[in-house]
Structure formats: structure tokens, C-alpha cells
Structure 1
């Protein structure tokens, strides 16, 4: 590869940079993980809906919240936050089940 010098025209430097980015294995690997994590995000939204419904009916029939559902809901909210941070490039740490453990249930 040739090194760009300050005398190179901007278009030439930009094209060289684009070419490097397109050949970057890490960029394509990140895309793969983003697709998988995006699928996990979709699944987590369905699970959140189930937790909401279960907690509502629990309160409806017992008059109090279910502690296990509260903790699971909190850990699910934290997990969703981790997913969004990864998908928006705010972190390089991939959420569970890749780099991070499942988040704790307390805020």
C-alpha cells in the first residue's frame, strides 16, 4: 500500500480510505454482529411485551407486583439499553451472549 502524502488530491485520499474501509474484515464482522444483535433486540421487545402483560395480570389478580418479574423486567431493560448502545456505535462491547454477561436485575 502506498502512503498518502499531503500533496495527494483529497479525492485520491478519500478513495484510498474508502477502499481500506471496504476491505476491512472488522467492519464486515461488525455488520454481522449488528444483524444478530438487531434480531435479539426484536426478540427482547416481544419478551418485554409478555412481561408487561404478565405483570399487569399479576397486579390485577393479587393487588401487588411480582418481585421476580420486576427484577427480570429491569435486567431486560438494561439488556435492551446495551443492545441500543452497541447498534449505535456507542460501545464496542457486544451484549449478551457475546462479550457481556446477562445484566443484573437491580437498577
Structure 2
């Protein structure tokens, strides 16, 4: 696949993932208000998504040629 097309696809995915991260953070905030402690599953998801966003940012900026997920295995913390 052409590198430019791949980078454009990740540009779209990056925007979508940021929206998902925003809603995850909002849900975590509400969870913490109600329960008084964080939800471990949401926290782990946020960490993994943040790592993926960092990998996408490196690829999009040209700092790395390593394709992030779904072309590579999902890297968990």
C-alpha cells in the first residue's frame, strides 16, 4: 500500500481514537466520582490506547516507518 494512503488512513484513525480516549476519560472521571477509586480496566485501556496513539504519531510525523496496529501486533503495557 502506498505510504501516503497509509498515513492518511492513520490520520483518520487517530482522530477517532482521540474521541474514544476522551469518552474513556470522561467515564473514568464519573466512575471515580461515584466509586471513589479508579476502574482498572478503563485505566489499562487508556494506557494501551495512549501507547498506540504515540506509535501512530511517530509514524505520521515520519519519525518511524514502523506501522502501528493493525499492521503490527497490539502492544500492551
Question: With structure 2 as the length reference, what TM-score do the two structures score?
Answer: 0.94
Q: Structure 1 residue 90: deviation in Å?
A: 1.1
- Give 1:9's aligned residue: none
Mark the runs of 5 or more structure 2 residues left unpaired by the alignment: none
Size of the aligned set, in residue pairs, is 77
Aligned residue among 6, 20, 29 for 1:47? 20
State the superposition RMSD in angstroms. Answer: 1.1
Q: Structure 1 residue 53: deviation in Å?
A: 0.5
- Give 2:55's aligned residue: 82
- Give 1:103's aligned residue: 75
Higher relative contact order (CA 8 A, sep 6+): 2
Distance in 2 (CA, whole Å) between partners of 1:103 and 1:75 is: 7
Over alpha carbons, which structure has the higher Rg?
A: 1
Aligned residue among 24, 32, 43 for 1:59? 32
Q: Structure 1 residue 101: deviation in Å?
A: 1.6
Q: Structure 1 residue 102: deviation in Å?
A: 1.7
Distance in 1 (CA, whole Å) between partners of 2:74 and 2:23 is: 19
DSSP 3-state at the match of 1:75? helix
- Give 2:42's aligned residue: 69
Mark the runs of 5 or more structure 1 residues left unpaired by the alignment: 1-25
